[in-house]
Amino acid sequence: GTACAIVLAGVAVTRAAVADTAPAEVPAHDVGRAYVAKEVMVPMRDGVRLQTVVVTPVGQTGPLPILITRTPYGVPDQAMVDRQDGDPKSTLLPSWRAFQKDGYIMVYQNLRGRFKSEGQFLKTSRYNAHDRRQANEVNDAWDTIDWLVKNIPNNNGRVGIYGVSYAGLTAGLTLLHPHPALKAISEQASPADQWMNDDDHHYGALRESYTFEYTVLVQAEKEANTNFDFGVRDVYSWYLALGPLSHINKDYLHGKLDYWNQVVSHPDYDSFWKEEAWVDKVKTSTVPNLNVAGFWDQEDPWGPWRIFRGASQHDPDNTNFIVAGPWYHGGWQRTDGGNIGPLPLGGHQTAVEFREGIEAPFFRYYLHETGEKPSWKAKMFETGSNEWREYKVWPPQDAKTTQLFFHADGTLSFQAPTKKDSGVRQYVSDPANPVPYRPRPISPTYPTPEWRTWETNDQRFVDHRPDVLTFVSAPLDHDLRVAGPLAAHLFASTSGKDADFVVKLIDVFPEEGQKAFVAHPDAATWADSLDGYELPIAMDVRRGRYLHDYQHAHPLVPGKVEDWSIPLRDHDHVFLKGHRVMVQVQSTWFPLIDRNPQTWVPSIYQAKEGDFQPATQKIYATPEAASYISLPVIEATQ
Ligand code: PG9
């Protein structure tokens, strides 16, 4: 971004031109039609006016549908400029390119309180159906649609909303009270419940680096996206030197950023977070919705599945769909999807295939009323096999829940431990030396690209650490196809009174030696080879104080063996024959997740330096306490 230093409570921060989440550009030669962009201030019911850019194709002949994106990050430059055929300065947002053949009036709007939009930025998904004057994103979308269909000439009265992440959230929220002209939405990577999963917490464990850096991004300045300037190349060392989490306000923010204050004053799943959890109100499919999820989404991997499941409870007309693929957060809108991190995808351009073959036809059907309705409920790009798969129901009914057991000798197998190989493995977790969540130096969340693909990082960077337990299977003698929700069940104890357990399910690529260079001709150097690569397929964390009750934290009983159920979300992946399955277990994941003091404190956000103490963690692999991963396995059909 453009470096424009401002001062936030005594700290230098730099201003980024566009948030990481802004769509990427496509090359100028892809520009087809010419468009005219016009900025209007659209009035909301409370008088607040929102900065809105209306982009109309030049030479529009008949009425066209309207397709809206509502964002807190500023309207991207590409949407703001008039463009002409062949103008080398013109660029088009990737999905607009897929849409242009059909033709739409494209609308980009800044949310209230961001950039030139008036009012207060909400940073909340609260919605009270009984308060018709409440300022919220549901009503703002309603008022915007109402104004556009009445005021934009030559529209066909059919409106869609789509977008990624925050823009996905504003699309998803319309499900709660859709305007009659709203005929289709595509919620893409929307968060659903900021305490339970997605951006800010996972089951109550705080996503420290993300939540802090994101709050600065959107709340430090109204007309900019702000990147906190750490002054060091490796933010791991910055967060470690910071000490207890309370030092963020004490030393840097000084209570100036609302959202951060709310996060640290509501550690438990109290009414503050329950009211944020708008997805609990989604129980029926009110508007046709194409939910989109990335299997390696580092921000909102969970929301789309929850929204899809909520609307699936009552979907008599079959208008609620989900698409998922091998994508980082928003990757389906930014890239061609030919790879995810170092992983090639069988020659597919998964993101282009999504935009042209799924997203554009979806809006074509509902907004232009031509073409085909999706014949599937769920469509996944399955990794491993590298094939698109269609499902009439999700999760697939033919998946058989299969247990992959831990063994005391560090192996994993489909056989449960017996008395003979029964045992316990242990490690000491020290909050003073936490396990990095990705290889150091760790860059800031925004605006560097490394954050986007960290969930595909080779896990060999930690599997030798004494505080990371590794379990690994023998090479598979057949393909292991897994489609549906995964979970870990750890039987574990701690010597402390609180603890975190992180579980990673990993696909270990075979060692092919020199052959690797023949098999992967693109691998230019030794380091590029996928030989022995430890690719994470599913990862998550649970925090002990919320093991039995999300609303009230309770201490763990030192030494007591508990069943830690750790949901690992929905996936569709084939562990290929010859690959091995690995599980890693650890108790820190820093600074992605804040450090658990491992002693009892009423709120971790008020813990003192001395409260952070090492603890011994034990993982059981015995007949009575058999830790395992639960896999939805689909047997090969001959
Ligand atoms: N993950 C971001 C976000 C969405 C919604 C709320 C808060 C943050 C984003 O990429 O927009």
Give the model's pLDDT for residue 5. Answer: 31
Binding site membership of 211 for ligand 1 (Cβ less than 6 Å): no
Residue 6 pLDDT > 50: no
Pocket residue to mutate for ligand 1, from 126, 137, 194, 214, most atoms within 8 A of Cβ: 214
Q: For residue 240, what pLDDT band results from cuts at 50, 70 and 90? A: very high
Three-point CA angle 183, 350, 74, nearest 5° = 55
Ligand 1 centroid, distance to 199 Cα (angstroms): 7
Contacts of 509 (CB under 8 A, 6+ apart): 530, 531, 532, 533, 534, 535, 579
Question: What backbone torsions phi and psi does residue 339 show, to the nearest 5 degrees?
Answer: -160, 165
Binding site membership of 166 for ligand 1 (Cβ less than 6 Å): yes
Give the model's pLDDT for residue 60. Answer: 78
Query: What is the tens place of the pLDDT at every residue in 254-291?
Result: 999 999 999 999 999 999 999 999 999 999 999 999 99
- Which residue CA neighbors atom 5 of ligand 1 most closely? 166
Query: What is the tens place of the pLDDT at every residue in 354-372?
Result: 999 999 999 999 999 999 9
Q: Are 413 and 407 in contact (CB under 8 A)?
A: yes
Query: What is the tens place of the pLDDT at every residue in 534-589?
Result: 999 999 999 999 999 999 999 999 999 999 999 999 999 999 999 999 999 999 99
Query: What is the tens place of the pLDDT at every residue in 74-130?
Result: 988 777 666 554 454 456 778 888 998 899 999 999 999 999 999 999 999 999 999
Binding site membership of 111 for ligand 1 (Cβ less than 6 Å): no
**Antiparallel, parallel or unpaired: β 11-16 and 6-8:** antiparallel
- Which residue CA neighbors atom 8 of ligand 1 most closely? 166
Q: Please choose, from the candidates 147, 67, 163, 58, the residue with its C-alpha nearest in 3D space to the C-alpha of residue 368.
A: 67
Binding site membership of 301 for ligand 1 (Cβ less than 6 Å): no
Residue 532 pLDDT > 90: yes
Q: Are 416 and 623 in contact (CB under 8 A)?
A: yes
Q: For residue 19, what pLDDT band results from cuts at 50, 70 and 90? A: very low
Counting every residue written for the chain, the total comes to 638
Ligand 1 centroid, distance to 83 Cα (angstroms): 30
State the closest ligand 1 atom to the C-alpha of 214, by its place in the atom list counted from 1. Answer: 8
Ligand 1 centroid, distance to 293 Cα (angstroms): 14
Binding site membership of 300 for ligand 1 (Cβ less than 6 Å): yes
Give 246: exposed, middle or buried? Use CB within 10 Å, 0-12, 13-18, 19+. Answer: middle
Ligand 1 centroid, distance to 303 Cα (angstroms): 11
Rounded CA gap, 99 and 82, in Å?
Answer: 17
Rounded CA gap, 22 and 71, in Å?
Answer: 9
Binding site membership of 328 for ligand 1 (Cβ less than 6 Å): no
State the closest ligand 1 atom to the C-alpha of 330, by its place in the atom list counted from 1. Answer: 10
Binding site membership of 199 for ligand 1 (Cβ less than 6 Å): yes
Ligand 1 centroid, distance to 110 Cα (angstroms): 14
Q: Are 631 and 482 in contact (CB under 8 A)?
A: yes
Give the model's pLDDT for residue 549. Answer: 98
Greatest Cα-to-Cα distance within the chain, rounded to the nearest angstrom: 78
Ligand 1 centroid, distance to 424 Cα (angstroms): 40
State the closest ligand 1 atom to the C-alpha of 299, by its place in the atom list counted from 1. Answer: 1
Q: Beta-strand (E) ranges in 496-594?
A: 500-508, 534-543, 562-575, 580-586
Cα 25 to Cα 30, 77, 119, 183, 315, distances in angstroms = 10, 10, 30, 28, 36
Pocket residue to mutate for ligand 1, from 125, 169, 307, 452, most atoms within 8 A of Cβ: 169
Ligand 1 centroid, distance to 468 Cα (angstroms): 30
